[in-house]
Amino acid sequence: MSLHVTARLGARGLDLAATVAEGQTLAVTGPNGAGKSSLLEIVAGLLVPDAGRAVLDGRTLFDLDAAGRGPWVPAHDRGVVLLAQDPLLFPHLSVLENVAFGPRSRGTDRRRARGTAAQWLDAVDAAALAGRRPAELSGGQAQRVAVARALAADPRVLLLDEPFASLDSTVAPALRELLRQVLAGRMAVVVTHDPADVRALADAEVHLERGRVVGGS
């Protein structure tokens, strides 16, 4: 099982291919404007390329010909979760209900969804925050909750767009270690500028420049 994606998007100068193996975390590096975030948005279903194809665990997420015609699975039905720099927590919900949102949106009853949320909050060492609202959280706490919410949705692929960029340098190492633990054995793609993220989290790396893959490991 794996994720394989090819995509071309002329407006952003993007023309690339990437593969993520089962249980692998792929780091995507490169300068600003290289196409890193665009790649994540395409896989997540938030950005439509001019042409390309993505297959996840044998299921076609999109297959667009040169005219942009072909099947396109909507974002909510892909089994993909994108974790951005901003935690984007729902301000009117408690931490517990934020994390329970993913299971609830898939039809899980409230009690079971809350149980799943509690388990993931415990896994990211944020169980004590369950009753708080997002406005009461520090940046590091909010990002822990965002990680729990992403994983509670049980994605086949977790996409992370510079998850530590907005955090203080004293907070990032603990969250990096947390992600190292929770990503073990999961399929994930991490966009980053930081070599420390690559060393700690990635099993493989691709380097982008001007929308093309120019290196990797």
Q: Please, which pLDDT band fits residue 166 given cuts at 50, 70 and 90?
A: confident
Residue 39 lies in a domain: yes
Residue 18 lies in a domain: yes
What pLDDT is attached to residue 129?
A: 96
Residue 123 lies in a domain: no
For residue 169, pLDDT over 80 is answered with no
Residue 130 lies in a domain: no
Q: What is the mean pLDDT of the chain?
A: 92
Residue 65 lies in a domain: yes
List, for residues 4-21, the tens digit of each pLDDT value.
999 999 999 999 999 999
Task: Say whether pTM exceeds 0.85.
Answer: yes
Residue 112 lies in a domain: no
Residue 160: which CATH number?
A: 3.40.50.300
DSSP symbols for the chain: -EEEEEEEEGGGTEEEEEEEETT-EEEEE-STTSSHHHHHHHHHTSS--SEEEEEETTEEEEEE-TTS-S-B--GGGSSEEEE-SS----TTS-HHHHHHHHHHHTT--HHHHHHHHHHHHHHTT-GGGTT--GGGS-HHHHHHHHHHHHHHT--SEEEEESTTTTS-TTTHHHHHHHHHHHTTTS-EEEE-S-HHHHHHH-SEEEEEETTEEEEE-
Residue 140 lies in a domain: no
Instruction: For residue 171, give its domain range.
Output: 2-79+155-216
Structurally, how many domains does the chain consist of?
1
List, for residues 73-130, the tens digit of each pLDDT value.
999 999 999 998 888 999 999 999 999 998 998 889 999 999 999 999 998 889 999 9
Residue 73 lies in a domain: yes
List, for residues 123-141, the tens digit of each pLDDT value.
888 999 999 999 999 988 9
